[in-house]
Amino acid sequence: MNYIDPHIHMVSRTTDDYENMKAAGIVAVIEPAFWLGQARTNVGSFKDYFSMLVGWERFRASQFGIKHYCTIGLNSKEANNEALAEQVIEILPEFLAKEGVVAVGEIGYDDQTTAEDKYFRQQLELAKEFDLPVMIHTPHRDKKNGTLRTMDVIEEHGISPYKVVIDHNNEETVEWVRDRGYWAAFTIYPKTKMSKKRMVEIVKKYGSEQIIVDSSADWGVSDPLSVPKTAALMKKSGVSDKDIHLTCYQNALTIYGQSGQFNESDWLTETTINQADLHEGNTILRGQEAKTIHFKNPK
């Protein structure tokens, strides 16, 4: 079965991860722009980060037969540095216009400050301007109020819940998010957030409609194989193939496909990967054998 991981921070992952992900059936990933574990201090760092997401990381993924897409946005933590945030907002449009940018994200609230609210709203307006979906990061602290407030603000700005993914849900938030028509994503972490086992229970209870599984793997303890592993556990637990397909592939394609930038044909047509740029410590395949890999239609 093919999988999509619609939330993973590949800049923090190794080439082993890429190889394992490919072997496990992941055909496409979406990398949301986020913070780097520590705050950036100038706008140039953002510019280079965004251009890395659409440049080097896109290329790196292609070398392993995985299609790489991204979302662009100013994350809520760094929105609190207002002087910097102003400059970052200025450069967002030029990146939102780029091919393969499938949403504005991940945006939303962290501490739910006034500054966070201001730049969240500005970016919702950018989503409307560029006709892009929105990927929402829900806060870990005061999650209930943060999630409800996020949805209120989105609706205030006249954005359809059908174009919005609310991520990092739990057993509580999923009810409100689904009742209001949003796509509910679940981050499967080995220790925190949501576990594979709890995820299976959620799918058993709510079915697969507008529910999405992702790994949000980054520089912390996380697992880039969360999506295929959760799919395997679902299968073992008697969840239907249709529900697995929807939660681990199709739903992500449907919501982010609304951008016009995320098309199944991108990875279903034959991909030739020329791993030619190796040798002498030059790039990603140091010391390994040069090879050209042909991936025929993986279905």
Partner 1 sequence: MSSLKEQTQFTNLAKSKFNPKELDWVLSKTAIVSNVETSKKFNMFFSLTPRFVSNEIITWSPEEIKTLKNIYPGFSLTQWNKQDLTRILLMLALAPSVNKSIIEAFFEIAEMKEQVVLYKGLYLLENASEFSNQVAEGIRTNMVNVFDAIASGNPFAQKYLDDEAWNQLILKSFFMDRPLYTIQNIDQGKNEDLANMLQDYVKERWAAGRQVSIEIWRMIVGYLRDDLKQLISERSFEGLEKEVIDTITQQNSPSLNSEYWERIGKTE
Residues in contact with partner 1 by the rule CB under 8 A: 47, 50-51, 54-56, 58-59, 91, 93-95, 97-100, 260, 274, 276-280, 282-284, 290
- CB nearer partner 1, residue 114 or residue 282: 282
CB of 85 to partner 1, least distance (A): 19
- CB nearer partner 1, residue 23 or residue 290: 290
- CB nearer partner 1, residue 72 or residue 199: 72
CB of 106 to partner 1, least distance (A): 19
CB of 47 to partner 1, least distance (A): 6
For the four alpha carbons of 272, 19, 196 and 262, in that order, the dihedral sign comes to negative
* 164 phi and psi angles, rounded to 5 deg: -125, 130
* Backbone conformation region of residue 109, classed left if phi is above 0, alpha if psi is from -120 to 50, else beta: beta
The DSSP symbol for 193 reads S
Tokens at residue 182, please?
């949003």
CB of 58 to partner 1, least distance (A): 5
Tokens at residue 190, please?
């080995």
- CB nearer partner 1, residue 70 or residue 174: 70
- Rounded to whole angstroms, the Cα distance separating 105 from 31 reads 9
- CB nearer partner 1, residue 102 or residue 151: 102
CB of 201 to partner 1, least distance (A): 40
- Taking the C-alpha atoms of 275, 276, 280 and 285 in order, what is their torsion angle to the nearest 10 degrees? 0
Beta strands 3-5 and 134-137: pairing type? Answer: unpaired
